[in-house]
Chains A and B, each alone.
Chain A
Amino acid sequence: MEIKSIMSPLSKTAIDELNAGDMVKMTGIIYTARDAAHKRMIQLLNQNIPLPFDIAGQTIYYAGPCPPKPGQVIGSAGPTTSSRVDVYTPPLLARGLNAMIGKGPRSRAVIDAMVEYKAVYLAATGGAGALIASCIKKADIVAFEDLGPEAIYRLVVEDLPLIVAIDCRGSSLYS
């Protein structure tokens, strides 16, 4: 079983080398955001207000973790269903979002925008919350703290196990 190591943020060259079906382990920086945080980011964009972090080149992880126990970096932190943020995703890809991590298929509009802006979608294992938390070495709230588990966190991850589900050419494991 060949498993590639990749670094986040991903370069366009690295994205180009990923093919649907590849098994990878990701190390680096990723940002969490789910439904409510996406909705707010789009509202900011519509009002021409800068986002709380520069999204260009970055990776977003669709997740709303459990609260950490004392001494823990983060609680269980598996992926949530990606399709719920499909409606918000193309404008973020247009602003340079490079990679997304979640679970489940994406809409045609998202896949088309991924091809246009050369982005990749990786599947994390839904329900592997404790295992994924063990790959998260640091977690800091970046924005929308009032949203609780839906706040945006900046995570430092090490060897996060993922599968390339849709590559930058639009090839998808779901179809």
Chain B
Amino acid sequence: MREIDARTITDVVESLCIDAACDLGHDVEQLISDAAEKESLPRAQYILNQLIDNIKLAREQQMPICQDTGMAVVFVEIGQDVHITGSYIIDAINEGVRRGYRKGYLRNSVVKDPLERVNTGDNTPAIIHIEIVPGSSLSITVAPKGFGSENMSALKMLKPADGIDGIKAFVLDTVKAAGGNPCPPVILGIGIGGTMEKAAYIAKKALLREAGRHNPDESVASLEQELLHSINALGIGPQGLGGTVTALAVHIETFATHIAGLPVAINMQCHASRHKTAVL
């Protein structure tokens, strides 16, 4: 049994929070640069060029890419041969978030109660997903999620008879209804199958994939390509002000489901698709 001190987890989460907020992945940056080259509408280019300048400035000055430094979503994969010592893992993660948001001068955007709405002042609690996996390592991913895009996400329990056409219609309707609100160009995480909450969970996990990399299943990959093409034909464009680049990528994950159901969840992600991972 391998032992990992909870204090190590706190330290790692602290630095992942700051890195994720300030240093956008080169995969997303590349897709935005490609989009700026493809885009022909001058005002859309004006916006995409600002995004590229912003990414570089944020990285150089270690400033958040976006002031909505999000609710911290933390994915943890714990090898089943790992034993956490010192304190409860959930407390250790939240302490890391608390420190990271304070040391990184990140915005505290969490309210304690959804109805009373008083800011907790330290961006906790984080949303924490833990999976037990084989082995003796521990992987932590911090994916801060801004709510401009999160608010535009949607879930629908389709009927099996709705099939692929029903899924396509739901995705396009959701992107159209969102318009400029989720800060396009967006990345779409789509979960198909499972139960209601499983579809939502795999939709969010799909956003952690390297931006633009397709699902290894060929038929799913071709659905990703087709949806990306149809979304970009909508003309919503960067920031919803017109143009040919509304989405940078579509990532679909699937899971087994019930004979009577076809759950589909769409997690909308703005162009600031932030996530950082560390493996202990």
Contact = CB atoms under 8 A, between A and B. Distances in A.
Contacts of B51: 125, 127-128
A75 B43 contact: no
A64 B107 CA distance: 9
Contact of A76 (B45, B66, B180, B270): B66
A82 to B, nearest CB: 9
Interface in A104-130: 104-105, 123, 125-130
A169 B151 CA distance: 30
Given A1-B45, A128-B51, A165-B241, A66 B180 contact: no
Contact of B43 (A69, A127, A128, A163): A163
A129 B50 contact: no
Contacts of A38: none
Contact of A148 (B66, B69, B119): B119
Q: Does more than half of chain A's interface fall in helix, strand or loop, or is it mixed? A: loop
Interface residues of B, number: 38
A133 B50 CA distance: 12
B64 A163 contact: no
Interface string A52-92: 00000000000111111100000111101101000000000
A126 B51 CA distance: 9
A174 B106 CA distance: 31
A149 B121 CA distance: 11
B167 interface: no
Interface string B134-178: 000000000000001001000000000000000000000000000
Contacts of B105: 66-69, 75
Contact of A66 (B42, B61, B107, B239): B107
Q: Does more than half of chain B's interface fall in helix, strand or loop, or is it mixed? A: loop
Contact of B53 (A77, A123, A131): A131
Contacts of A105: 179-181, 240
Interface string B57-72: 1100101111111000
B107 A127 contact: no
A8 interface: no
A27 B57 CA distance: 21
Interface string A133-164: 11000000000000011000000000001010
B43 A23 contact: yes
Among B45, B51, B67, B106, the one with the most A-chain Cβ atoms within 10 Å of its Cβ is B67
Contact of A163 (B46, B69, B107, B109): B46
Given A65-B107, A66-B107, A80-B68, A163 B61 contact: no
B45 A129 contact: no
A44 B143 CA distance: 39
Contact of B272 (A66, A127, A148, A149): A127
A76 B272 CA distance: 13
A173 interface: yes
Contacts of A134: 57
Given A3-B46, A134-B57, A161-B46, 16 more contacts: A23-B42, A23-B43, A78-B68, A81-B151, A83-B181, A103-B148, A123-B180, A126-B183, A127-B272, A128-B50, A129-B67, A130-B54, A149-B108, A149-B109, A163-B47, A165-B241
28 contacts: A1-B45, A3-B46, A64-B67, A65-B107, A66-B63, A66-B64, A76-B58, A81-B148, A81-B181, A104-B240, A123-B241, A125-B47, A126-B66, A126-B148, A126-B239, A128-B54, A129-B64, A129-B66, A129-B68, A130-B61, A132-B54, A149-B67, A163-B46, A163-B47, A163-B239, A165-B241, A173-B241, A174-B240
Interface of B: 42-43, 45-47, 50-51, 53-54, 57-58, 61, 63-69, 105-109, 119, 148, 151, 179-181, 183, 239-242, 270-272
The 6 closest A-B pairs by CB, nearest first: A126-B183, A130-B58, A131-B54, A128-B54, A76-B67, A76-B64
